[in-house]
Amino acid sequence: MKTVNRCPQCRHELDEGPIMYRCAHCCRAVYAADLENEFVPAEPVAA
């Protein structure tokens, strides 16, 4: 099952890759290595 990488900032789907992704929404460049560090799986935050 293929997972879709999403922008850690706006959750938009990321293009390009696999080394570096680019968010078409906020134009942010995200490295795959950074993505692993920054990406937080969507889990409900108990406010």
10 lines the binding site for Zn ion (CB under 5 A): yes
Residue identified by tokens 């850690």 is 8
23 lines the binding site for Zn ion (CB under 5 A): yes
Task: State how far the Cα of 39 lies from the Cα of 6, in Å rounded to an integer.
Answer: 8
* Least distance (Å) between residue 1 CB and Zn ion: 23
Residue identified by tokens 């570096």 is 20
On whether the CB atoms of residues 10 and 27 are closer than 8 A, the answer is no
Which listed residue (5, 20, 25, 35) binds Zn ion by CB under 5 A?
Answer: 25
Residues that bind Zn ion (CB under 5 A): 7, 9-10, 12, 23, 25-26, 28
